[in-house]
Structure 1
Amino acid sequence: MTLFEYLIRSTACFALLYLPYLLLFRRLTFFQWQRFYLLLTGAASVVLPFFVAGGETISVQAYWLKELLAGSETPAGAESVVHTDWFSLVYFSGVFVFAGLFLFRLSRLLRIVFVKAQKSGDLHFLPESYPQTAFSFFRRIVLHPGFSEGEKKYIVKHERTHARQLHTLDLLFYEWLCVFAWFNPLYRLARKQLAETHEFIADEQACGDDAVHYQRVLVAHVLGLPAASLTHSFSRPGSLQSRINMMNKTKSPKAALFGYLLAVPFLTGAMMISSFTLKAQEETGVVKVSKGDQVEKQPGYKGGNEAMVKFLSANIHYPEDAKKAKTAGMVVVNFVVDENGKVTKAQVKKSVSPSLDAEALRVINSMPDWTPGETKEGKKVKAEMNIPIRFALD
């Protein structure tokens, strides 16, 4: 399973499992169930592609060889090099950027929580120069000293719910999902809704029977310091209206819990998507590598790169029908060098025409044995290779 295939499976699984939440579950008042479902959806999108695919491991990229020119004047002095995998390059560049932004925000928050805030009893107080706000981070409750005793009673009760239930862990989990799936806006939407669900849970615990007074305190402090996305803030502005609506909403009947059974066909559908992808892979002959058999040393053509290029140059013949039709272009052939060094499972990844495809496959299948790839421990394993062959007319 390649990185691209894993990301497709993971994205499809998440979208399918997230759909019933968007359509139904978020309208209910079973907030703990909503929290659990969002966490389960995120975890399933990470794990399910592996689970369905059995013992496969992710191959970040197959090894690429430099493009070979096939024509009446084929150069024999070209060397084999690793081809740039643009998909992986773009993907990991995005991961690097978003991980950097996340770690920067986290470092700023840690400085406030562990350096700036001073402990007093079981609470941590911000300097008076800071805007009036309150938030929690793991077990720590941080607030501004300017709150009155009446306000502090509600605020601390609210933040203690976040701290006791470790809502920060939930947010950190989704933050990392957003880093590795930076291209998918659904993860960011789910992260936002998970944070909102945390607020519903804490509001339910804090307001008790005096919802009106609690809401007044909430509205009075909604213009405080905007909350960092990694914390839970009593006065988070973006969710004020929805929080008040939820506090005033009639509780969902217990029978509505059966609605969560609707997730079962969506889970089945997510598994089927991965299964169909896997089946298609097996039919096309993509190599399956056992877990732990990550290729450390790539396969090598016996005699070196120059010998391989000479072999290909001497054996590739431009098909006559392609010459007459003036057909040209680049055929990309994917193949597997097995544990014994034999070239197997050759297939065309990028086609030009039937005759050029057939010629490219013929010459690849006629190649002599290679030196097989090896793991870090020296175990000989299968490895996937790609070679672009450009057919060019004079």
Structure 2
Amino acid sequence: MIHYLLQTVAFQLFFLMVYDLFLKKETFFNWNRLYLWATPLLACVIPFIRIERLGKVMPQEYVVMLPEVIVGPGTDRVGEAEVVAAVPLWQWILFAGMVLSLVLFAVKITRIFRLRRRGRIIRKQTHEEVVLPDSNTAFSFFRSIYLGDRVYRKNHRHIIAHELVHIRQKHTVDLLFFELLRVLFWFNPLVYVFQGRMAELHEFIADAKTTGPDKRESYSLLLQEVFKTEKISFVNPFFKSSLIKKRIIMLQKAKSRKIWQFKYLVLVPLVLGMLVYSSCEREEAVPSTEEVSIAEQVRRLKSAIAEKDNMTEEEIEQLMDLNEMVIIGYGGKAGTPLEDKYPALESPSSGPGVPFGEVEQVPVFPGCENADNPRECFQEKMREHIRKHFRYPEQAQKENIQGRVAIMFTIDTGGNITDIRKRGPSPYLENEAVRIIEKLPVMAPGRSGGKVVNVPFSIPITFRLQSGIDTEQTKSRSGVKKSEDRGKVFSSRQPGGEAGYVYGVVRDSDGNNIPGVNISVRGTERGTITDFDGNYKIGARRGETLRVSYIGLDDVEFKVGDHNNYKVVM
């Protein structure tokens, strides 16, 4: 929000500089009036406009939510989140200033009505005159002309004619518009400058409409009567000392030549530059909202893999994240925080092979011989195998050990499982993961180019301990300890966060960060999981709904608001 306010002020400054340098001294009064109306609004609107062709188009971001296989009790209940906003101090100051400005505006309106009640109202066909006792003021407000009785007793015909121009052209609406901007942007001095420019332009318009062929009479009228006037920012006073000199100068000025209207074309490159800036500024951060199926995203990923001759170890590890099994252990205390600094994977001994993602004919898992899609069947059978054979190591539960074990193995040309490599936080978990993989059956080998080939395959297995849940509680969550904060979402502003993204952390009711929590944007395929410290980052915009789900706990849903940081307590 701060960035938006700074942009608005900067754009208004540029528009005001153009007016003062090129347009202010011209006699195109109606054009200038339109300019002063439109440019402050443009400055407020342009930051929201995004034109893809003008912006720096970034590659589309695809976050694929693959199904997570979790061994343990589950539930489909969704808890409505109660969002508790932590409003920063600067927002309190901003709102307090708005309230104060609104109060001052109400005071000014009250002054107008008090003057009206004091005065004697004379109704005319096109307007009404309010004669104020013991006063020499003169100004107009909507259809009312306020005149002091001392002015009214004199020859006030020229004053009435002048104020009628204000009434016919609805100049009060212009000033009230800027008064509204002053309430919303009370901290912005440029709004006050714009209102002042509009007020003096009103006087130029009225003078131009009422001045006859002999301008000397108008000069003398302005010079001989410099009266006191009401200091109200949204009325049109006839006599204002600071404007007298400017009005006389403008009366002396010859009418501008029509060719100078081309000066308004300066707006074109100025607005275009602002649009380019605002488009580039957001396009670098906003995730794509294009609806792309998972199948299409997988196809594109396969194409990208096929174009690479060799894959680095880091790229292979990144691909391992696309097939993750999560194993839940119950009965222990909350596990120790997961670490991301595990031993490096051992090097394979079977030689190079064709990655599973690009092999022409994937290895055939027993039971997939007649499957329409052998690749998907292979992955499903792999998940079923892990569900069937997993056993959380007892020693790991006693020592409260949990973490992710990265497993890579090769299905060789004979269909056997070889070269099992692992990386995990504990030998207990590593050995259990290896035990599960060693139980895989012999398969029909993969083929590529008409030959049998070695096919490397990877799958991360996450071992996670659930805190404080006994055997009975695994059957029902009714026994899970509740807390006042459970199901709540605490929102705040994260300084320096990228626009178009939401950050946060997921914790349990005891204050422990929860890794591996699924975060998804409802109605889209965008999703992520929390890292080892329970932190997450996901592309989401204001108004979209985030769903937070974790095994053994009620799901939480909340809408993204003006803040970009959300702490979820499950």
TM-score for the superposition, normalised by structure 1: 0.68
Structure 1 residues 274-314: Cα deviation after superposition (integer angstroms, max 9, x where no partner)? 212322331xx5999xxxxxxxxxxxx99535993457625
Distance 2:221 2:205 in 1: 17
Which residue number in structure 2 is paired with residue 127 of structure 1? 132
After TM superposition, the structure 1 = structure 2 runs for residues 1-394 of structure 1, keeping only pairs within 5 Å, are 3-52=1-50, 82-113=85-116, 116-121=119-124, 122-129=127-134, 131-147=135-151, 151-282=155-286, 285=287, 303-304=486-487, 308-310=507-509, 313=512, 338-339=521-522, 344=527, 360=533, 363-364=535-536, 368-369=549-550, 370-373=555-558, 386=565
* 1:328 equivalent in structure 2: none
Q: Distance in 1 between matches of 2:257 and 2:523?
A: 64
Counterparts in 2 of 1:148 and 1:275: CA distance versus 1, 3 Å: same
* Shift in alpha-carbon separation, 1:247–1:346, aligned structure 2, 3 A: farther
**C-alpha displacement at 1:26, in angstroms?**
0.5
Q: 1:11: Cα distance to partner?
A: 2.4
Change (3 A) 1:373 1:387: closer
With over 3 angstroms needed to count, the CA separation of the structure-2 counterparts of 1:272 and 1:365, relative to structure 1, is: closer
Structure 1 stretch displaced more, 257-266 or 116-125:
116-125
In structure 2, the residue matched to 1:296 is none
1:150 deviates by 7.0
> Is the Cα contact below 8 Å between 1:341 and 1:372 reproduced in 2?
no
Q: What is the deviation of 1:49?
A: 3.1
In 2 relative to 1, CA 106–336 (structure 1 residues): closer, same or farther, beyond 3 Å?
farther
Contact 1:106 1:230 (8 Å CA) reproduced:
no
The runs of 5 or more residues in structure 2 that have no matched partner are 53-82, 291-483, 490-505, 539-547
Change (3 A) 1:195 1:345: farther
Change (3 A) 1:52 1:155: farther
Q: Do the aligned partners of 2:139 and 2:163 also contact (CA within 8 Å) in 1?
A: yes
Between the two proteins, what is the percent identity of the paired residues?
27
TM superposition shift of 1:258: 0.9
Flag structure 1 segments of 5+ consecutive residues without an equivalent. 55-79, 289-300, 317-334, 348-357, 375-380, 390-394
Amino acid at match of 2:88: D
* CA drift at 1:219: 2.1
1:302-358 C-alpha deviation (Å, 9 max, x unpaired): 953599345762558xxxxxxxxxxxxxxxxxx9762279995799xxxxxxxxxx8
CA contact (8 A) 1:337 1:372 kept: no
Contact 1:287 1:384 in 2 (8 A): no
The CA distance in 2 between the partners of 1:139 and 1:182, in whole Å, is 28
CA 382–243 in structure 1, closer or farther in 2 if over 3 Å, else same: closer
Distance apart, 1:34 and its partner CA = 0.9
Per-residue deviation, 1:231: 0.7
TM-score, normalization by structure 2: 0.49
Q: 1:236-288 deviations in whole A, cap 9, x for unaligned? A: 22211111111112222111111111111111122223212322331xx5999
**How far is the alpha carbon of 1:90 from its aligned partner?**
1.4
Task: In structure 2, give the amino acid aligned to 1:196.
Answer: E
Deviation at 1:108, TM superposition (A): 1.0
Retained in 1: the 8 A contact 2:121–2:130? yes
Cα offset for 1:183?
A: 1.3
Report the secondary structure of 2:284's partner residue.
helix
* SS of match in other structure, 2:145: strand
Cα gap change, 1:304/1:260 in structure 2, threshold over 3 Å: closer, same or farther? closer
Q: Aligned equivalents of 2:4 and 2:522: distance in 1?
A: 24
Contact persistence 2:520–2:526 (CA under 8 A): yes
- Give 1:7 shift: 2.2
1:106, CA displacement in angstroms?
1.6
Q: CA deviation at 1:225?
A: 2.3
Following TM superposition, by how much is the alpha carbon of 1:388 offset from its aligned partner in structure 2, in angstroms?
A: 7.8
Residue 95 of structure 1 aligns with an amino acid whose one-letter code is M
Deviation, structure 1 residue 123:
3.6
Count of residue pairs brought into register by the alignment: 313
In the alignment, residue 195 of structure 1 is paired with which amino acid?
A: A
Distance 2:519 2:116 in 1: 53
Query: Highest Rg: 1 or 2?
Result: 2
Following superposition, the deviation at residue 146 of structure 1 comes to 2.6
Amino acid at match of 1:371: V
- Using the TM superposition, give the Cα deviation of residue 205 of structure 1 relative to its aligned residue in structure 2, in angstroms: 1.2
With over 3 angstroms needed to count, the CA separation of the structure-2 counterparts of 1:340 and 1:86, relative to structure 1, is farther
SS at match of 2:86: coil
1:154 and 1:336 map into 2 onto residues whose CA distance is 71
**Alpha-carbon deviations, 1:89-114, whole Å to 9, x = none?**
11111111111111211221133236
Q: Give the Cα–Cα distance (whole angstroms) in 1 for the partners of residues 549 and 30 of structure 2.
A: 61
CA distance, structure 2, for counterparts of residue 50 and residue 315 of structure 1: 36
Alpha-carbon distance in 2 for matches of 1:41, 1:384: 29
Using the TM superposition, give the Cα deviation of residue 84 of structure 1 relative to its aligned residue in structure 2, in angstroms: 2.9
